[in-house]
Amino acid sequence: MYQRWRRLLFLHWDREVAEVQATLPAGLTVEPWEGRAWLGVVPFRMEGVRPRFLPAVGGLSNFPELNVRTYVRDAHGRSGVWFYSLDCAQPVAVWGARVGFGLPYFHACMREQLDERTTWISSDCRRCGESGEPAHYEFRGLGDATRAGEGTFEQYLVERYRLFARRAGKLLAGEIWHEPYAIQTAEVACWSAIPLRQAGFDVGNVPPAHAVFSPGVDVSIFLPGK
């Protein structure tokens, strides 16, 4: 598939390795940074989503999304991302990702809005069937956008070119290609831990330990295999 990921906010919390390891399927182990596991909450916008041989189609191809993830390696030593959830406002995309990739997509009511004048982005997400307030985020990027330095914490967090999924009881790996992210300092006026709680992690009122913003990248995604 081809798609564009736009206006990404990367929020991260650190946790004990053992706590996160207990949530992973057989065949995956936590890939820590300085002895800690990291959980990410990433609201962003998908645009131009399409299979390789088909054009993008309006509302089917453009929609907000939010994922909860951690960083792992498999038995072959390959690094990647394990998703606890991916909330999406497009039900056809939810169905396709669950069937085709084995990813834990959930249909959600979502809204993403950019204020062109101030560059502030507002993002709301409430999973269908859930009550209460939505997960709400307000953020923007500040300063020049540059690539993460080699061997830096930011590179560890954002430069991930493989996802792992489980389908029919089997662990699969899907390759992803894009140019390295250009990232900026993230100014975050509002954040929510609701998606983390839904994934089974309680961070209370502790704010994220790290936040960066990226204007986005163009992405190629390949079908998962062993």
Give me the tens of pLDDT residue by residue for the chain, a chain 226 residues long: 789 999 999 999 999 999 999 999 999 999 999 999 999 999 999 988 766 554 444 556 788 999 999 999 999 999 999 999 999 988 887 877 777 778 899 999 999 999 999 999 999 999 998 888 999 999 999 999 999 999 999 999 999 999 999 988 899 999 999 999 999 999 999 999 999 999 999 999 999 999 999 999 999 988 777 6
**Helices marked H in 4-125 — which ranges?**
17-21, 58-61, 91-101
The ranges assigned to domains in the chain are 2-221
Extract the tokens encoding 76. Answer: 């072959």
- Residue holding tokens 């960083």? 71
**Which CATH superfamily groups domain 2-221?**
Acetoacetate decarboxylase-like (2.40.400.10)
Confidence (pLDDT) at 169: 85
Confidence (pLDDT) at 55: 44
Give the long-range contacts of residues 128-135, CB within 8 A, separation 24 or more: 130/198, 133/194, 134/109, 134/192, 134/194, 135/66, 135/192, 135/194, 135/195
Confidence (pLDDT) at 51: 64
Confidence (pLDDT) at 60: 60
Instruction: State the Cα–Cα distance between residues 10 and 172, nearest whole angstrom.
Output: 25
102 closest CA partner among 161, 25, 156, 42: 25
Show the beta-strand stretches assigned E in the chain. 2-15, 28-30, 37-50, 63-74, 79-88, 105-114, 121-127, 135-147, 162-167, 170-177, 182-190, 210-221
Confidence (pLDDT) at 173: 94
Q: CB of 148 within 8 A of CB of 159? A: yes
Confidence (pLDDT) at 56: 44
Q: Report CA-CA distances (Å) from 132 to 121, 126, 158.
A: 22, 8, 31
